[in-house]
Structure 1
Amino acid sequence: MTNVIVAFSKAEDAKNIKNILMKNGFTVSAVCTSGAQAVNSADELGSGIVVCGCRFADMVYQEIYECLPKGMLMLLVASPSQWSGRAPDDVVCLGLPLKVQDLLSTLEMMMESLAKRRKKLKSQPKERSGEEQELIKQAKELLMERNHMTEAEAHRYIQKCSMDSGTNMVETAQMIMSLINI
């Protein structure tokens, strides 16, 4: 489920957009009438899509965009004269008058984009701390010394043991260290 924040300066506009989205199966996490409310909601949620208008009493869309966390996308709903040529590249813009089907299909496309981004981030390997890297290095050195392996062979051995046992390389290196140092 993707978080959707609806933010328009007029409460009636925000309520109408929220109702359209809810009727079509989207979950609206927050409805805001100021830029500060939109930014606070985005910070609390961490990721999702902000559907907003161009101007608020306290901010314009560009200021909101600059304050959003990295996991948030923005869908700007405004007349083309208000954003043409000035909107940041990754802000998706829909012109007024708004067609419901355009709003829904654009939001669906943005949700797919967010899902792909999340999947890509999950598939990236987690960075190891210096302590963990040192532990793996020590285990490799121990294997190289005791079993006369090259560094590549010791690394592959730790990897294979890690996969076979279903543990990560750091845990496997710890097991090797404890077994050999007995």
Structure 2
Amino acid sequence: MAGIIVVFPKPEDSKAIKNLLVHNGYESVFNCTTGSKAITLADTLGEGVIISGYRMTDMPYTDILDNVEGRFEMLLVTSKQKLLEDNRGVAMVEMPIKVRDFLNSVELMQNNIYAKLRRKKRVVHQRTEEEQSVIDEAKSVLMEKNNMSENEAHRYIQKSAMDSGRTMVETAISVLKIMYKE
């Protein structure tokens, strides 16, 4: 689940930004005041956007970034002076926040995360030889005991897997367990 984590050292700052996001239609928005809590939330959520101040009480934003890089986009809210420093490719918004620019940045970052998730879903899982042999064995058993063609046995395993939300390998193992009990 993609979410938004707002982390600032002052609780009132993180709550204000969270409220701004929720008021503008964003869901799954979490706020905290320490980097360690932000990292824990990030591990729970998996991917999303982190909106951060420059330095929390326990660590700078760079430590958070090191722990979530690749899974989270980061938007740093900081002073103009800090904008000029090396930012490691992190998107930045200057304080005081211009609401429209801020919301546009968050939307762009969320779109990047969702695009990354869509690309990840498109990657086809390649079965190992062992996994394929389990599926082939289950098809053989179905063909022999239920008088199915190979195509029918394959479709049966595939449809059962889809209906139950399991993989074809898990379904094939179940078929083998059931058929060998008989």
Q: Same fold (TM over 0.5)?
A: yes
TM-score, normalised to structure 2, is: 0.70
Check conservation: 1:49, 1:73, Cα contact below 8 A: yes
* Count of aligned positions: 148
Match of 2:79 in 1: 79
For 1:31, give the aligned amino acid.
Answer: N
User: Are 2:5 and 2:50, in contact at CA under 8 Å, matched by a contact in 1?
Assistant: yes
What is the aligned partner in structure 2 of residue 131 from structure 1? 130
Alignment RMSD, CA only? 2.8
Conservation of the 8 A alpha-carbon contact between 1:2 and 1:27: no
* Aligned position for 2:21: 21
For structure 1, the 5+ residue unaligned runs are: 140-157, 175-182
Q: Deviations over 1:137-174 (max 9, x none)?
A: x99xxxxxxxxxxxxxxxxxx9xx59x94849x87xx8
Deviation, 1:127, is 3.1
In structure 2, C-alpha distance between the alignment counterparts of 1:50 and 1:82, rounded to whole Å: 18
- Distance in 2 (alpha carbons) for counterparts of 1:97 and 1:60: 20
Q: Does 1:35 align with 2:52?
A: no
The 5 Å alignment of 1:29-108 reads 29-68=29-68, 70-89=70-89, 91-108=90-107
Per the alignment, do residues 128 and 69 of structure 1 end up closer, same or farther by CA in structure 2, a change over 3 Å counting? farther
1:171-182 aligned within 5 A: none
Q: Look up the equivalent residue of 1:113 and give its one-letter code.
A: N
Q: Which amino acid aligns with 2:8?
A: F
Taking the aligned partners of 1:87 and 1:12, their CA distance within structure 2 comes to 25
Percent of aligned pairs with the same residue?
Answer: 32
Aligned to 2:11: 11
Distance in 2 (alpha carbons) for counterparts of 1:15 and 1:56 = 15
**Alpha-carbon separation, structure 2, partners of 1:119 and 1:127:** 18
- Give distance in 2, aligned partners of 1:29 and 1:19: 9
Answer whether contact 2:48 2:113 (CA < 8 A) is retained: yes
| Preserved contact between residue 22 and residue 29 of structure 2 (Cα < 8 Å) | no
Q: Which digits, 9 at most, give the CA deviation of each residue in 1:87-110, with x for residues without a partner?
A: 122x21111221011111111111
TM-score (norm 1): 0.70
* Residue of structure 1 equivalent to 2:142: none
Summarize deviations over 1:54-83 as a string: whole Å, max 9, x none: 001110000110011632111111124224
